[in-house]
């Protein structure tokens, strides 16, 4: 039996590629010279995700002669929603003590200001620093 044929098999090759992808993205965000292309790390993640999802679905097709997309997405939700919720809660707790932040942009005669209440989702507003 090959390593990839077992559903619970640890894949050191995939884990190594994930580590490289993480390092590329972190290096980009830290401003390390020559690593401005953190998108390469994101691309690696997309390729790995596509491979793993295809492997899961093809294994299910081989074993059951059908693919249950409802069960597939339910498994993904059970796996991804808890850390997503934890991230959101952490962002809410780390938000400005008043619970809201005023974000302003522009100069001179035109100034746009927005009130950002809490922290919605895992990502800050575009252009946030």
pLDDT in tens, 27-46: 888 888 887 777 888 999 89
Percent of residues, the chain, with pLDDT higher than 70 = 64
Q: Is the pTM of this model over 0.85?
A: no
By CB neighbour count within 10 A (0-12 exposed, 13-18 middle, 19+ buried), where does 41 fall?
buried
SS3 (DSSP) at 3: helix
Supply 3's token pair. 């390593």
Of the two residues 123 and 85, the one the predictor is more confident about is 85
| 107 to 104, 116, 125, 128: CA distances (angstroms) | 9, 20, 19, 17
36 with 28: CB under 8 angstroms? yes
Confidence of residue 120 (pLDDT cuts 50, 70, 90): very low
Give residues with Cβ within 8 angstroms of 84, minimum separation 6.
122
41 with 20: CB under 8 angstroms? yes
pLDDT single digits (tens) 55-95: 999 999 999 999 999 999 999 999 888 888 888 777 766 66
């Amino acid at each position: 039996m090959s390593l990839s044929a077992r559903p619970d098999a640890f894949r050191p090759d995939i884990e190594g590629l994930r580590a490289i992808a993480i390092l590329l993205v972190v290096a980009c965000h830290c401003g390390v010279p020559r690593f401005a292309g953190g998108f390469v790390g994101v691309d690696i993640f997309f390729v790995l995700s596509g491979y793993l999802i295809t492997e899961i679905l093809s294994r299910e097709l081989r074993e059951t002669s059908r693919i249950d997309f409802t069960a597939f997405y339910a498994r993904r939700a059970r796996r991804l929603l808890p850390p997503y919720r934890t991230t959101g809660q952490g962002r809410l707790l780390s938000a400005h003590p008043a619970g809201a932040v005023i974000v302003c942009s522009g100069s001179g005669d035109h100034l746009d200001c927005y009130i950002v209440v809490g922290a919605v989702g895992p990502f800050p507003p575009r252009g946030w620093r």
